[in-house]
A and B are shown apart, each in its own frame.
Chain A
Amino acid sequence: KQEVTQIPAALSVPEGENLVLNCSFTDSAIYNLQWFRQDPGKGLTSLLLIQSSQREQTSGRLNASLDKSSGRSTLYIAASQPGDSATYLCAVRRRRDSGAGSYQLTFGKGTKLSVIP
């Protein structure tokens, strides 16, 4: 059974600092990995999607990397801003050839980020 772990559970940094969020998964037979952002009172927003054949994806100040063999992904946020404060969730999707439920996402518990002005 796939398990996804995110460390740390919470992180507080001063504005302008670069930071890294970590995600690890136990089963490397994944189809892709996504990073989501969740704001209080709102649903999840997809930030970056990395296919299993890719090593990284970038969007603005965000960079996500994937090392499938070691079961790890990182989300790098450059020059953090107070508006980046949210909970960041990592989710992996099973391989397509794994049959029923291959579209299921397995989520981590998230890292709650606070960026202090």
Chain B
Amino acid sequence: ETGVTQTPRHLVMGMTNKKSLKCEQHLGHNAMYWYKQSAKKPLELMFVYSLEERVENNSVPSRFSPECPNSSHLFLHLHTLQPEDSALYLCASSQDLPADTQYFGPGTRLTVL
């Protein structure tokens, strides 16, 4: 049990849908991350939040919109996605930035039809 939970674990959506991914960490950490893991590509960092402020947007398209209402919760709002956005979306947290150790959630498997 990593202390980082993600919901839903699986999501299928159409290109015109709007959905949200949720991440919650129970570790008292101050930093949270969104990663994308596509088939046949390395894990890619999307966004980083520290103390609820976004400190990194790694050239992510605007159809992905993150939200960090408090240090324990992180959302990824999705709208008008493309089939190539189908991937495993992983959330992670760390005590602070920078941090040697990040704790990962189990991920949300997203399929865009």
Contacts and interface: CB of A to CB of B under 8 A. Distances in A.
A46 B99 CA distance: 13
Contact of A105 (B45, B105, B106): B45
B81 interface: no
A20 interface: no
A45 B45 contact: no
B41 A109 contact: yes
Interface in A73-117: 89, 91, 93, 96, 100-110
A4 B45 CA distance: 14
B61 interface: no
Interface in B18-50: 40-45, 48
B45 A43 contact: no
A109 B56 contact: no
B84 interface: no
Contacts of B101: 46, 49
A106 B43 CA distance: 8
Contacts of A65: none
Interface residues of B, number: 24
Given A49-B100, A103-B48, A43 B43 contact: no
B107 interface: yes
B74 interface: no
Nearest to B50: A103
Given A103-B97, A105-B102, 18 more contacts: A4-B42, A32-B100, A41-B107, A43-B90, A43-B106, A43-B107, A44-B104, A45-B2, A46-B101, A89-B43, A101-B56, A103-B99, A104-B56, A105-B45, A107-B43, A108-B42, A109-B40, A109-B42
Interface of A: 4, 32, 34, 41-46, 49, 89, 91, 93, 96, 100-110
